Structure 1
Amino acid sequence: MKIIELPIAFEFNGQKNDIYPSLIRSNDELTLVDTGYQGFLPIIEKEIEANGYEMNDLTNIILTHYDDDHIGSLSDFKEKYPWIRIIASEMEATYISGEEKSERLVQAEKMLETMPKQHQAFGEWFIQQLKSLQHVPIDETVGDGDWILNNQCQVIATPGHTSGHISLYIPSLDSIITGDAAVKEQHELAIANPEFCLDLEQAEHSLVKLKNMRAEHYYCYHGGRYTVVEGFFKSI
C-alpha cells in the first residue's frame, strides 16, 4: 500500500489555492480520493501520470463528501473511465446520485436569504456551481468501521462538515486521509471552514476522534500531509 499526494495548484477569485487529492496504490490497482472542481480531470490525470502511474489502472474513486471541490470532476472521470467504481457513504450517496437535494445546496440557499448585499453575487454563483454538478450513481456505499480495498482500508465516519462525511484509515501505513474533517493550518490540524460546517459540534468531535487515533500521517485535502513526531502534532 502507498498513498501519493496529488498537489493541485490553481487560482480562484484572483488568489492562489491548492488542494491535495490522494491516490492510493494497492497491488496493481489505483484508488483516487476526491476529484477536485469541475474541469480538473486533465489536471489530476497529469499529476497521476507524472508520478509514474497509468490511468487505465484507476479502479476506484472514493468520495469523502458532497462539495463542489471534492466531486466536481466526478462525472468527467466516470464518462472517460466507465469501469471505475464509485464509493461513498450511504448518506452522501443520495446527494451525489441526485436522489435527494444536497444539504450543502439547502444551506447555501438559506444563507443567501440573509447574506449582505456585497456577498450576494458570490452566494448566487456558489448556488449555481452546486446546481451544475452532474449526478453520478454510486456503486458501493460504506459506513463507519467498514473495511474496503481488500480489507486494507477502514472507513471512519467523521460527520460535521457534512452529515455523511467519511475519512479513511490505512493501518499498514499508520495514515489517515481526512477529507475536510481536518485541514492543516498554521502547523496544526483544524476544522475546515467552521462557518460552513453543517454541524460544528459534530465537526469538533470528529476532529478530536481523528487526533485521538494517533496516526503518524494525516493526509489533508486542504493543507497537505501532516505528520506526528514523537507524540506531538507537527507539520512537515
Structure 2
Amino acid sequence: MEILELPIEFEFNGQKNYIYPSLIILNNELTLVDTGYTNFLTLIENEILKNGYEIKNLKNIIITHYDDDHIGSLYDFKEKYPWINIIASEMESKYISGEMKSERLIQAEEMLENMPNEESEFGKWFIQQLKNLKHVSIDEKVHDGDMILDNKCKVVATPGHTSGHISLYFPSVKSVITGDAAVHENHELVIANPHFCLNVEKAEQSLTKIKRLKAVNYYCYHGGTLFVR
C-alpha cells in the first residue's frame, strides 16, 4: 500500500496557491481523498497520470468533509466515472447529497449579517460558491472506528472544523490523512482556519486525537505532508 500527495497548483486573487489531495494505492486500485474546487477535475487527473496511474483504476473517492475546496469537483468525477464509490461520514453525507442545508452555508449567511461593508462582497461571493455546489449521493456512509479499504484504513471522527469531519489512519504505514483536522504550518500540525471552525474546542480535541496516533506521515490537505522524525 502506498499514499501519494497530489500537489495541485492554482491561482486565487492573483496569488499562487496549493492544495494536496491524497491518492491511496492498494491492490492496483486507486482511492482519491477530496476533489478540490469546482473545475479541478482535469488538474487532479493530470497529477494522477503524472504519477504513472490510470484513472480507470480509480475505485473510490473519500470526502473528509463538506467544504467547497474539498467537494467542488466531486460531481464532475461521478459524472465522468460513474463506477466510482463515494465514501463520507454519515453526517457529512446529508450535506453533500443536499438532504440538509450545509452547516458551512448557515455559518456564512450568519457571518454576512455582521460583516463590515468592505468584507461583505467576499461574503456574498462565498455564499454563492456554496450554493453553486452540485449535490452528489454518497454510496458508503462511515462512522468513527470503521475499517475500510480492505481493513487497511481506520476512519477517525475529527469534528470541529465541521461536525462530521473525518480523518483516515493507516496503522500499517503509520500515516494519517488529516483533511482539515490539521494543517501543516512551520513544521507543525495546527488546526485549520480557527475563524471558520464550527467548534474550535472540538477542533483542538480532534487535533490532539490525531497527534496521539503517533504517525510518521501526516498528509495535510493544506501545507502538504509533515514527516515526523
AA of the residue aligned to 1:179: G
Deviation digits for residues 160-195 of structure 1, max 9, x if unmatched?
000000000011110000000000011110000000
1:33 matched residue in structure 2: 33
Normalising by the residue count of structure 2, what TM-score does the alignment of the two structures yield?
0.99
1:166 aligns with 2:166: yes
Q: Which residue of 2 aligns with 1:44?
A: 44
User: What letter matches 2:134 in structure 1?
Assistant: Q
Q: Do residues 8 (structure 1) and 5 (structure 2) align?
A: no
Which residue is 2:139 aligned to? 139
Q: Are 1:95 and 2:87 an aligned pair?
A: no
For residues 121-141 of structure 1, give each alpha carbon's deviation from its aligned partner in whole angstroms, at most 9, with x where no partner exists.
Answer: 000000000000000000000
CA distance in 1 between counterparts of 2:139 and 2:175 reads 25
Unmatched 5+ residue regions in structure 1? 230-236
Structure 2 stretches lacking a partner, 5+ long = none
Q: In structure 2, how many angstroms separate the alpha carbons of the residues matched to 1:40 and 1:228?
A: 30
Q: Percent identical across equivalent pairs?
A: 71
User: Once the two structures are superposed, what CA deviation does each residue of 1:4-60 show, in whole Å capped at 9, x if it has no partner?
Assistant: 110001111111110000000000110000000000000000000000000000000
- Equivalent residue runs for 1:10-89 within 5 Å: 10-89=10-89
| 1:111 corresponding residue in structure 2 | 111
Aligned length: 229
**1:221 maps to which residue?**
221
SS for the counterpart of 1:195 is: helix
Deviations 1:98-156 (A, max 9, x none): 00000000000000000110000000000000000000000000000000001110000
Stretches (4+) displaced over 3 A: none
Separation in structure 1 between the aligned mates of residue 26 and residue 212 of structure 2, nearest angstrom:
26
CA distance in 2, matches of 1:212, 1:174: 12
Name the residue aligned to 1:120: 120
Give the match's secondary structure for 1:11.
strand
Q: Secondary structure at 1:46's aligned position in 2?
A: helix
How many angstroms apart in 2 are the aligned matches of 1:198 and 1:56?
Answer: 37
TM-score (norm 1): 0.96
CA distance in structure 2 between the aligned counterparts of 1:216 and 1:62, rounded to whole angstroms: 22
Deviations 1:71-92 (A, max 9, x none): 0000000000000000000000
Q: Quote the Cα distance in structure 1 between the aligned partners of 2:72 and 2:58.
A: 18
Deviation at 1:159, TM superposition (A): 0.3
CA RMSD across the alignment: 0.4
Letter in 2 for 1:76: D
Alpha-carbon distance in structure 2 between the residues aligned to 1:186 and 1:176: 18
Amino acid at match of 1:20: Y
Distance 2:87 2:191 in 1: 24
Q: How does 1:164-203 map to 2 (within 5 A)?
A: 164-203=164-203
Secondary structure in structure 2 of the residue aligned to 1:93: helix
Partner of 1:148: 148
Q: Give the SS at the match of 1:60.
A: strand
